[in-house]
């Protein structure tokens, strides 16, 4: 197959699966050429081919658009509607059993929270680790304790600065993955009994930490495209005395929603009006599919109230456990808490990542990773359309690697999870993402896995889901 035919096939898959829908603008020739690593003339040839098949059409001086007549067969889910009540949380047993299944290596890991190892530059990372160990000066180890290695903090700050987010190396504390940053943030600003506003559905670790620290949660409704419902959040602030808000503004786990920039600004100023800190989890921010990095809510933080957490776990080096936090006005209490709990993040891992970032190939790796994830999303959505029961709804995130699927109401996702495991396929059942029963018929699927395994795994899950439909 020629290059332009392969590119045309990829884009056709995105159209058929509804990732690009009728009326959407196709990427510009320049964007598509950078994104897919092909020449502009290859993109032109691919677009001519798609035009001849009636899938896209050129509009004068405006570029190519997906033909309006192409209907999206798989609908997307609507906004979520949890009851906005403060509750004690109890999800841990279930979450631990799901995490246990992620430790098994010879199954299709559609329930995992990480992409497949094949998608990471493992050899280059190993070289960086070897160099870091060979050349590092053991007597300087103390200098790498919390807040962390300065070269690494500078390299992270530079990435933010280049994207238009004002951050200096002195604002950053290196942590053991984002998870530790999130935990330190929550501990720095709460005491037992406080109420935390979280997304519904939301990241299970937020629920676990809330449970562990004896806090209460209020689940806020979400729009699967645009994130938190801000008027529900303001109602909750007025009625429940919220102590902090925890959310993901980019490619939320599990819905994949991306909060638009204007809405991020509004969120930050709404919380600042009530002096409420925002814990922002941005571990998927680098995995965007368009041409522009989606700046986090931290960009708009003028009061130091946003505690922004991220890491390299999802985009570069999962096992290294290197993350960071920008704690704003809570810097000193977070720094001391980190010193008191683990002293510092692993020094060899910090040095290795500082070395890797200095080599200059991170952006090239990210471009490849994003491209693989975007085309695997299309592949998975198409397979869901072919094999899942009628009536399923599926999200189409513009980044990250999760799809959220609403199955027919009578399908019990925990049963589907158990039966899929028996067929050597892992998936993440809806109930781990909430302390309500609202998502008992939903699942989260990871499309960042081995591309060749996706269709077969989806076919099996689809067959099991058909069998679980209960006629009422």
Ligand X SMILES: Cc1ncc(COP(=O)(O)O)c(C=O)c1O
Binding site for ligand X (CB under 6 A): 113, 177-179, 203, 248, 253, 281, 283, 311, 313, 323
- Residue from 195, 176, 121, 142 nearest 369 by CA: 121
Q: How far is the CB of 192 from ligand X (least distance, A)?
A: 23
Rounded to whole angstroms, the Cα distance separating 78 from 387 reads 22
What minimum distance in Å lies between the beta carbon of 70 and ligand X? Answer: 33
Instruction: Check if the beta carbon of residue 189 is closer than 8 Å to that of residue 243.
Output: yes
Task: Give the Cα separation of 339 and 452 in Å (integer).
Answer: 44
- Between 313 and 449, CB nearer to ligand X: 313
Tell me how far, at minimum, the Cβ of 269 lies from ligand X, in Å: 24
Residue (9 or 226) nearer to ligand X, CB: 226
Closest CB to ligand X among 343 and 390?
A: 343
- CB-nearer residue toward ligand X: 253 or 375: 253
Nearer Cβ to ligand X (299/313) = 313
Residue nearest ligand X, CB atom distance? 177
Contact 176, 323 (CB under 8 A): yes
150-162 and 347-359 helices cross at what angle (nearest 10)? 40
Taking the complex as a whole, how short is the minimal distance between the CB of residue 357 and ligand X, in angstroms? 16
Q: Which is nearer to ligand X, 209 or 236 (CB)?
A: 209
Which of residues 179 and 403 has its CB atom nearest to ligand X in the complex? Answer: 179
CB of 111 to ligand X, least distance (A): 11
Report residue 168 CA to chain centroid gap: 24
Nearest distance in Å: CB 177, ligand X: 3
Residue (385 or 429) nearer to ligand X, CB: 429
Nearer to ligand X, 12 or 281 (CB): 281
Report in angstroms how near the CB of residue 280 gets to ligand X at its nearest.
11
Q: Work out how close the CB of 310 gets to ligand X at its nearest, in angstroms, rounded to a whole number.
A: 8
Q: How far is the CB of 16 from ligand X (least distance, A)?
A: 29
**Can you tell me the distance from the alpha carbon of 446 to that of 457, in angstroms, rounded to the nearest whole number?**
11
Min dist. Cβ of residue 438 to ligand X (A):
19
Q: Which CB atom, from 65 or from 114, has the smaller least distance to ligand X?
A: 114
Which phi and psi angles does 282 have, rounded to 5°?
Answer: -120, 40
Nearer to ligand X, 91 or 113 (CB): 113
CB of 18 to ligand X, least distance (A): 25
Instruction: Tell me how far apart the alpha carbons of residues 120 and 123 are, in angstroms, rounded to a whole number.
Output: 9
Cα gap 301→316, rounded to integer Å: 27
Cβ closest to ligand X, residue 208 vs residue 311: 311
CA distance 256 to 248: 9
Min dist CB 95 to ligand X, Å, is 11
């Amino acid at each position: 197959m020629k290059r332009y035919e392969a590119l045309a096939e990829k884009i056709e898959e995105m159209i058929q699966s509804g990732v690009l829908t009728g009326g959407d603008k196709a990427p510009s020739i320049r964007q598509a050429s950078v994104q897919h690593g092909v020449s502009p003339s290859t993109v032109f040839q691919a677009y001519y081919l798609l035009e001849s098949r009636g899938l896209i059409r050129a509009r004068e001086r405006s570029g190519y658009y997906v033909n309006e007549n192409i209907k999206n067969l798989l609908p997307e889910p609507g906004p979520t509607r949890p009851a906005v009540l403060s509750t004690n949380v109890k999800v841990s047993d279930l979450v631990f059993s799901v995490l246990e299944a992620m430790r098994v290596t010879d199954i299709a890991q559609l329930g995992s929270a990480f992409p497949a190892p094949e998608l990471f530059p493992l050899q280059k990372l190993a070289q960086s680790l070897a160099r870091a160990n060979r050349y590092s000066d053991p007597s300087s180890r103390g200098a790498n304790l919390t807040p962390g290695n300065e070269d690494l903090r500078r390299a992270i700050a530079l990435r933010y600065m280049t994207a238009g987010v004002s951050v200096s190396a002195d604002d950053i504390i290196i942590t053991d993955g984002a998870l530790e940053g999130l935990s330190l943030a929550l501990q720095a600003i709460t005491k037992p009994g406080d109420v935390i506003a979280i997304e519904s559905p939301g990241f299970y670790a937020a629920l676990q930490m809330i449970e562990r620290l004896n806090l209460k949660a209020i689940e806020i409704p979400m729009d699967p495209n645009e994130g938190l419902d801000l008027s529900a959040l303001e109602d909750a602030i007025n009625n429940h005395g919220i102590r902090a808000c925890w959310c993901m503004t980019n490619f939320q786990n599990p819905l994949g929603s991306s909060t638009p920039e204007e809405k991020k600004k509004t969120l930050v100023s709404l919380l600042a009006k009530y002096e409420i800190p925002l814990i922002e989890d941005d571990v998927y921010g680098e995995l965007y599919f368009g041409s522009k990095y989606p700046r986090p809510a931290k960009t708009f933080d003028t009061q130091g109230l946003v505690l922004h957490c991220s890491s390299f776990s999802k985009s570069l080096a999962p096992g290294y456990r290197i993350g960071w936090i920008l704690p704003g006005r809570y810097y000193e209490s977070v720094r001391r808490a980190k010193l008191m709990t683990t002293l510092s993040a692993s020094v060899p891992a910090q040095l290795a990542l500082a070395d890797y970032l200095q080599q200059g190939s991170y952006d090239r790796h990210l471009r490849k990773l994003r491209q693989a994830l975007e085309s695997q999303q299309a592949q998975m959505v198409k397979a869901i359309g072919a094999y899942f029961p009628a009536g399923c709804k599926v999200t189409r995130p513009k980044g990250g690697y999760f799809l959220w699927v609403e199955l027919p109401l009578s399908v019990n996702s925990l049963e589907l999870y158990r039966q899929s495991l028996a067929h050597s396929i892992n998936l993440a059942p809806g109930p781990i993402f909430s302390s309500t029963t609202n998502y008992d018929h939903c699942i989260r699927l990871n499309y960042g896995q081995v591309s060749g395994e996706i269709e077969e795994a989806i076919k099996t899950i689809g067959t099991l889901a058909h069998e679980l439909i209960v006629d009422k």
